[in-house]
Amino acid sequence: MTKDFDYFNTLLVQGVGSKTGPIAPTIVPSAAYGYADAEEAEGIFAGEVNKPLYARVGNPTNAKLESVVARMEGGWGAIATASGMGAISMVTTAFLKAGDEVLCIGGFFGGTYTLVNETMKRFGVSNTFCEVDDFDHIGSTLKRGVKMVIMESVGNPSLRLPDIKRIAALCNTYETLLMVDNTATPLIVQPLALGADIVVHSSTKNMSGHSAALGGVAVFRPVKEKNDKLFNEKYADVHKIVNKMGKKAFIPICKKRAIRDMGMTANAFGSFLTMLGLETLALRVERVNRSVAKVAQILDENLPEGIEVNHPSLPKSEDHARYRSDFPDGCGPLLTIDCGTPERAFAFLNALNMATLTANIGDNRTLALHMQSTIYSDFDAQTRKFLGVTEGLIRISIGLEDPEAIAKDFLQAAAKTA
């Protein structure tokens, strides 16, 4: 089913703006907040009075952003964080402890991979990695009592497309939390509707579009009154909060068990800038996803021998069938170009006129980067292979420019590398 971008255009501009007083979101820069009296202070700390406590655990500008993103993702509540990694580490810190195991499905953004495989490991959390379509391995790993499943809506830079619904159904069968990183596909994929429990975004990327604000956000489903997977014994250490806070328990679990103690909180100015981006997100997403498919097609037809474009919209892609069935509006701003060797990839990048060479994605401008020599330079050969990072791989994030002009620039650069 294709997405109703008109619905999202209306929701986002109406949600970010106000009818009376200041129309643009207001920036509240105060770190501390005065309480009316001792009783109000007590109520705020107990979570019974909904007013700001201290900016580390919440701020009115962040709250506005959180309410818009929660509605956008069809969630019950959200928490804005200092970065995308802040959102992911907030959720993992809030739920995991030494002795737990996480299951990671598919390819991963470099920071998420090292968070799981180095940092969380240091704190005693073990992990298993599975290919997106290895359902036997996914099922047997879940069966032995995994605490959390982490996956990306689209593999970056592998561009593998997961069957989110099927994976979510497995997670529900085994009462395991599923967190989906939806950074690459805001609006076009709605993980909560597909059965996920938590959605995270790096709002630095598509949501902002302007590359002017680092930020992240986590969105949560409501907790069910009965038979919620959070009541499973493996989540016993959050039962007290779930019993007290009910539906909205994901928020205090993350605030009391991560944000309060670690402070990966968003700042008001960053949240303001993110909201300026959000106003035009639906227009940009629709435009960029159309452009990506178009650029991929032009490149596929015209690139010289030895340089290959990869995108699931192309019939030769191994995920083409899933692209057509589950991703009818596209799968985000990325495509990859494999130049075969690092030397040829460098020559290609150095001959580009339009693309900006940077480690970002989802920008309004077209971006490009050689993967092995940059983001994945610390990774061994076997890990790179698992993550789909080949020697000559260049990741491209398509921007708002004329798609024909983008493709033309890539073709002239490719011609110079022959």
Q: Which residues bind ligand PLP (CB under 6 A)?
A: 83-85, 109, 111-112, 152, 156, 181, 183-184, 202, 204-205, 214, 216, 361
Rounded to 5 degrees, φ, ψ at 181 are: -85, 110
User: Residue 360: CB partners within 8 Å, gap ≥ 6?
Assistant: 204, 205, 211, 367, 397
Please say which residue, 265 or 417, places its beta carbon nearer to ligand PLP: 265
3-state SS, 58-77, equals: CCHHHHHHHHHHHHHCCCCE
User: Residue 26: CB partners within 8 Å, gap ≥ 6?
Assistant: 60, 61
| Least distance in angstroms from the C-beta of 218 to ligand PLP | 12
In 187-280, alpha helices (H):
239-245, 250-254, 260-262, 268-278
**145 burial class (0-12, 13-18, 19+ CB within 10 angstroms)?**
middle
| Least distance in angstroms from the C-beta of 82 to ligand PLP | 8
Please say which residue, 218 or 307, places its beta carbon nearer to ligand PLP: 218
Please say which residue, 341 or 356, places its beta carbon nearer to ligand PLP: 356
Angle between helices 268-278 and 60-72 (to 10 degrees): 30
| Least distance in angstroms from the C-beta of 22 to ligand PLP | 27
| Least distance in angstroms from the C-beta of 359 to ligand PLP | 8
Per-residue tokens: 101 = 């195991």
* Residue 60 C-beta-side C-alpha neighbours within 13 Å: 10
Q: Which residue is nearest to ligand PLP (CB)?
A: 84
Please say which residue, 8 or 109, places its beta carbon nearer to ligand PLP: 109
Identity of the amino acid at 247 = K
| Least distance in angstroms from the C-beta of 263 to ligand PLP | 15
Q: What gap in Å lies between CA 162 and CA 214, rounded to an integer?
A: 27
Please say which residue, 156 or 417, places its beta carbon nearer to ligand PLP: 156
| Least distance in angstroms from the C-beta of 136 to ligand PLP | 26
Look at residue 14 and give its three-state secondary structure.
Answer: helix
| Least distance in angstroms from the C-beta of 203 to ligand PLP | 7
Q: What gap in Å lies between CA 384 and CA 369, rounded to an integer?
A: 15
| Least distance in angstroms from the C-beta of 238 to ligand PLP | 24
Please say which residue, 202 or 265, places its beta carbon nearer to ligand PLP: 202
Please say which residue, 161 or 407, places its beta carbon nearer to ligand PLP: 161
Look at residue 410 and give its three-state secondary structure.
Answer: helix
